[in-house]
Amino acid sequence: MKKTCLPVPPGKRARLHEIDPDDTSVCDDKEEAEEIVAKHVRRMAEMQQMLFASQKRALLIVLQGMDGAGKDGTIRHVMSGLNPQGCRVVGFRAPTSDEKAHDFLWRVHREVPSLGWIGIFNRSHYEDVLAARVRKIVPPKVWRGRYAHINAFEKLLADSGVVLLKFFLHISKEEQKERLEKRLHDPRRAWKFDPIDWDNRRLWSEYMEAYEDAIARCGTPWAPWHVVPANRKWYRNLLVSGRIVETLEGMDLKYPRLRAVKRARSGS
């Protein structure tokens, strides 16, 4: 029997074939879900303002998934209410020659959000244990060692005030095929089509194994993974937006008090 899964306990292996990408068990009414997402978007905007004003914490949202999983759509819908002055989206593609001349985390670390900011990674450092592994860009000895490097890197960020939220947008192979074909016939989406997307479909099983390993090996108390059933876009938006709101509210954010007010009240 297929089951739903959002937060993955640290160190636990997410058996992706057992998780139903069509799941809507939290809310099976699309209109109701969209109304809740709208509330989440407004709440996120309120919390972002306090985050930016306090300058004590940062939020880093990592979006991973197969081609067509909805990373762009999640950013477009869930993050629609955020103030661009305190939010930055970074997309990671194949590393440039300059980036290859450094360690694999170099290009990622420099894009981490400053305190007060929200950063969104469309793909991330996890490509170095996913695509690099599946497409045999680096030998096994190299990508296997990267799990420990990633955990240490994310622990450093957490210790420095950066809260990490990592989402794997889980779609079925059939849903992916439908979405990729739509790109070919829609001039508004055709520019997103890349022949390598079809090549990666032939490696679906290898990618699922790589994702399961990454989630198990790099799911930690300070940087948890969340598997999001994403065949239904509205449901994906509901789960992701809800988790972001919960995380921001858990930061206990407050507006800083003016020094002038403090002086006046102290009688100075």
- Residue-range domains of the chain with CATH: 7-251 (3.40.50.300)
Distances (CA, A) of 122 to 140, 141, 180: 25, 26, 18
3-state SS record for 168-211: EEECCHHHHHHHHHHHHHCCCCHHHCCHHHHHHHCCHHHHHHHH
Taking only the tens place, the pLDDT of each residue in 216-241 is 999 999 999 999 999 999 999 999 99
pLDDT digits (tens, 9 = 90+) for 102-158: 999 999 999 999 999 999 999 999 999 999 999 999 999 999 999 999 999 999 999
Q: Are 47 and 249 in contact (CB under 8 A)?
A: yes
pLDDT of residue 261: 47
| Rounded Cα gap, residues 216 and 248, in angstroms | 25
pLDDT of residue 191: 63
pLDDT in tens, 237-254: 999 999 999 999 999 999
Q: Mean pLDDT over all residues of the chain?
A: 92
What does the pLDDT look like over 189-226, one tens digit per residue? 666 666 777 778 899 999 999 999 999 999 999 999 99
d(CA 229, CA 19): 8
Residues 6+ positions from 61 with CB-CB distance below 8 Å:
118, 119, 120, 121, 165, 167, 244
Question: Ramachandran region of residue 252, left (φ > 0), alpha (ψ -120 to 50) or beta?
Answer: left
Is residue 41 predicted with pLDDT exceeding 70?
A: yes
- Residue of 105, 87, 101 whose CA lies nearest to 157: 105
DSSP helix/strand/coil, 45: helix
What span, in angstroms and rounded, lies between the C-alpha atoms of 184 and 59? 35
Q: How many Å apart are CA 70 and CA 43, to the nearest integer?
A: 22
Q: What is the DSSP string of 127-162?
A: GGGTHHHHTTSS-HHHHHHHHHHHHHHHHHHHHTTE
pTM: 0.92
For residue 1, the model assigns a pLDDT of 37
User: What type of residue is 93?
Assistant: R
Please tell me the distance from the alpha carbon of residue 96 to that of residue 118, in angstroms, as a whole number: 25
